[in-house]
Amino acid sequence: MVFACVSLLYLLLVASSAKSLTTDEFTFNGFRNVTNLSLDGSALVTLEGVLQLTNSTRRVMGHAFFSSPVLMLKKLDNTSRALSFSTAFVFDIVPDGNAGGQGFVFAVSRAKILPGVKPGPFLGILGPQNNGNFSNHVFAVEFDTVQEATMFLDIDDNHVGVDINSLISNISRSAVYYADDSKKVDLKMESGEPIQAWIDYNGTTTVLNVTIAPLSLPKPRRPLISKVIDLSPIFEEYMYVGFSSATGKAASSHFISGWSFKSNGIAQPLDLSQLPNFPRAPRGPSTSKTVGVKIGVASSVGTFVLITMVIFASWYIWEQAKLAETIEDWELDHPHRFAYKDLYKATKGFKDTELLGVGGFGHVYKGVLRRTGQVVAIKRVSNGSRQGMKEFVTEVASLGKVRHRHLVELKGWCKRNHDLLLVYEFMPNGSLDKLLFDGNTNALPWEQRFKILKAIASGVLYLHEEWEQVIVHRDIKAGNILLDSDMNAKLSDFGLAQLHERGTNPHTTRVVGTLGYMSPELSQTGRATTSSDVFAFGALLLEVACGRRPIEPSEEPNLVNWVNECRMKGELLRVVDPRLGKCYAEEQMEMVLKLGLVCCQSIPEVRPSMRQVMQYLNGDYFLAEDKALLFSEVDTMDFFASRMSYPSSYGTMTTGSLKGGR
């Protein structure tokens, strides 16, 4: 029985490690028992299932090509066009001692091995007799760790180059990756640490992109190399794709643990969780030592290893205990649960260096999920009590179904003791609060601010009226508005304030919110409603337009009263953020300021609903000018009945049509 289970597990591993879809698309998550790979020279597959191109032997070369040729050129009536292709692979270069060499290439070639190929600087793909010949029909991306400045004009001993029929690269760059669009980080390819590479060619635009990054990071948005190269004259209709490597006067072991390729499309991402571990020591002969020295060193090393093993075992037991979690049966009924150890490792143990911010409900950390390389934001919420935890998780799992383009997506959760960890999509451009107030010399343009306000309004409307349940946010503010890489605004922490009430004393009411955004009735009754959300959104409207927080210790009066006083004096536009200058539409600005005041009315019943707020922002009907009514003793219901109107083409608005929302 045990033998049968082991055999079945082995077959499953073999099936997952070599997944070949067609001859034009394949994915190898490891190379154990692969049959459609052609190996030559020093190339072999290790016991771990890693493809090894060379070992620590000098002046050898190894080749590993997909067995069947791949369609790479589309023949048209009078011409031919190279097809798009994409490949991704994980490699590791381990030098023999302090110095290694030479490197390896990913190649697209008319043959698996060209005539006259040589080891050393020719990397096993070309030779001195055919280097530079147009008849080679070879395209290669080299990962070179030896500088051959005279022969091949190499820029340094750690570079990536694009080669067309010759090892004098068309373009080469020192090995770096971009942590963002501008910050370069050096990446030593002979470090012995795994690196992932992506090569993408667009046959329509003829743009070639080459990107590298440490295995622990996702694919950078900015490639290392981006160049227009027409590969149509280089490619034949069918070509072989694979790897070639060589050693020279010095040697390195060159490993590939996973490889994915697709012609005329985008290669499938590698499953990093399935990739085999790289061998830690180079294979091949080592330099000879005297027997006496070997025995002495072995004795010392043995003692050291024993002590190290004891220390490591103790640390491992302690580490596992620290990451242990007890999963109750009911937790298995809720989807999208993450393991605590995965989130712990993603945040490097919740290190302060990974801290993105601190909010009213917990600390938020940046995390990189090791299995997928995905960047996420992880909020650590302390519930303070086991009472109500099941209901708490039930509602969190329910919120995981909420989907709106202007709400930050809740990807999953994890419960451990009294803590709840919430996993959100990562928003690289941070919060609106930081963009408005963190000393930015370049003010956020008004067009962008107005776009953000409309986006958040639509998200709040969805929570109030368009999802299957009414969700009251209770903490709408600039700090909870996040921006993605394209500056699209999304509201975060929706429903979290309500959920955090689970487990509190039912005889006490905890007032949740942020000073300056809290409506008067909320501080009196403690009951949050959709109307109190509208008040907070009104404060946000004024904050974005004025470039001033709702309450500033050094400013009197508060923002709402100050804007209203200026409106009463006929100087409403005096409150506009001075950093904007005159770069805004006056009618639009006046509408936002008046709408902010209307939303901040002290009587909840006369505030507009979020649907009406959206109609104002979309210009579906207008706020009439009346200096005597807002924040006065006049009946505010009369204000709504008589002082708001549709655009003239819509006619007069009735009181009944103003009573919307929940």
Identify which has the larger pLDDT, 109 or 179. 109
Q: Which of 475, 493, 533, 577 is catalytic?
A: 475
Per-residue confidence at 563, pLDDT binned at 50, 70, 90? Answer: very high
Task: Give the residue numbers spanning the domain of 418.
Answer: 329-425
Residue 486 lies in a domain: yes
Q: Is 475 a catalytic residue?
A: yes
Residue 69 lies in a domain: yes
Residue 13 lies in a domain: no
Residues 629/597, Cβ–Cβ less than 8 Å: no
Q: What is the mean pLDDT of residues 522-551?
A: 91
Mark whether 563 and 443 lie in a shared domain. yes
Rg (CA), the chain: 32
Mark whether 241 and 142 lie in a shared domain. yes
Mark whether 396 and 449 lie in a shared domain. no
Q: Evaluate if residue 259 carries a pLDDT over 70.
A: yes
Q: How far, in Å, CA of 308 to CA of 322, rounded?
A: 21
Percent of the chain with pLDDT over 90: 49
Domain boundary among 396, 425, 454: 425
Identify which has the larger pLDDT, 609 or 324. 609
Number of domains in the chain: 3
Q: What is the mean pLDDT of residues 174-193?
A: 89
Concatenating the DSSP letter of every residue in 378-447 gives EEEEE---STTHHHHHHHHHHHTT---TTB--EEEEEEETTEEEEEEE--TT-BHHHHHHS--SSPPPHH
Mark whether 50 and 70 lie in a shared domain. yes
Q: Which of 547, 544, 546, 540 is nearest to 516 (CA)?
A: 540
pLDDT of residue 620: 84
Q: What is the mean pLDDT of residues 303-315?
A: 74
pLDDT of residue 6: 37
- Residue 630 belongs to a domain with what CATH number? 1.10.510.10
Per-residue confidence at 335, pLDDT binned at 50, 70, 90? Answer: low
Mark whether 592 and 652 lie in a shared domain. yes
Mark whether 218 and 169 lie in a shared domain. yes
Mark whether 574 and 627 lie in a shared domain. yes
Q: Which of 363-377, 461-475, 510-524 has the lowest mean pLDDT?
A: 510-524
Q: Evaluate if residue 448 carries a pLDDT over 80.
A: yes
Mark whether 354 and 209 lie in a shared domain. no
Mark whether 335 and 366 lie in a shared domain. yes
pLDDT of residue 35: 84
Per-residue confidence at 443, pLDDT binned at 50, 70, 90? Answer: confident
Confidence (pTM): 0.49
Over the stretch 265-293, which tens digit does the pLDDT of each residue have?
899 999 998 999 888 644 444 444 444 44
pLDDT of residue 519: 92
pLDDT of residue 643: 40
Identify which has the larger pLDDT, 441 or 24. 24
- Residue 372 belongs to a domain with what CATH number? 3.30.200.20
Residue 109 lies in a domain: yes
Per-residue confidence at 99, pLDDT binned at 50, 70, 90? Answer: confident
pLDDT of residue 23: 63
Over the stretch 571-589, which tens digit does the pLDDT of each residue have?
999 999 999 999 999 999 9
Residue 48 lies in a domain: yes
Q: How far, in Å, CA of 132 to CA of 293, rounded?
A: 50
Mark whether 411 and 481 lie in a shared domain. no
Q: How many CB atoms lie within 10 A of CB 276?
A: 21
Mark whether 418 and 533 lie in a shared domain. no
Mark whether 105 and 221 lie in a shared domain. yes
Residue 536 lies in a domain: yes
Q: What is the mean pLDDT of residues 496-519?
A: 58
pLDDT of residue 200: 97
DSSP 466: I
Phi (first) and psi of residue 123, to 5 degrees: 55, 20
